[in-house]
Amino acid sequence: MELQEAIVQRRSIRRFTEDKVTDQELQEIFEAVRLSPSWANTQVWEFVVLRDKELISKVTGIYQSGKGTNPATKCSLAASALIVVCAKTGVSGCYDGKESTKFTNWFMFDLGIATQTLCLKAHEIGLGTVVVGLLDHDACKQLISLPDGYEAVAVIPIGRSAVEPKAGPPRKSVVDMVHLDTFGQCSASVGNGHSSCLH
């Protein structure tokens, strides 16, 4: 599968078959994830794979939602594995233990890159994922015995999709998001609809 094909076709999957995700498949995914770039190559990510059904149930039980039940609850309970995405804090975006950029928690940027790699690699080998970020992070940290200096950021249920992928939601066009030199310049399309910034 070409990268562009994976990017276009990947969707958040919330219904899995009963087929188990194998350790070999997870190993293949993490071999790709470990190559992700990070701030000064600090590689602050850590991943806790949950296989124990009781623990999966407890972690799923701390999902939150603005309206009713979190839509990822059902697939999480059915999944043969959940991946808790964690980070070591006070390292990424820091020098001598001090935040070095305007934006704190730079580890979130690094985790975003690693999570995208994980989801795309899973899709490439025929697995579905969905990223769950609405949860009680402190309770999750306690459930997986995460030590001080680390945070549990997201949970990723993973499995084989039980549904045919649908077309994705509308996305911004290039001309609506690319600017030249200053914000707002080159917003008009040229010729075939591409941004004049890129000509």
152 CB-near residues (< 8 Å, 6+ apart):
48, 84, 85, 86, 137, 140, 141, 144, 146
pLDDT band at 194, cuts 50/70/90? Answer: low
Q: Does pLDDT of 26 surpass 50?
A: yes
SS3 196: helix
Q: Is the dihedral of CA 187, 191, 192, 198 positive or negative?
A: negative
Residue extents of the structural domains in the chain: 3-167, 169-199
pLDDT in tens, 46-60: 999 999 999 999 999
User: What ranges in the chain are assigned the alpha helix state H?
Assistant: 3-9, 23-33, 53-60, 73-78, 107-124, 137-143
| CATH class of residue range 3-167 | alpha beta
Q: Which amino acid is at 191?
A: G
CB 79 within 8 A of CB 53: no
- Does pTM surpass 0.75? yes
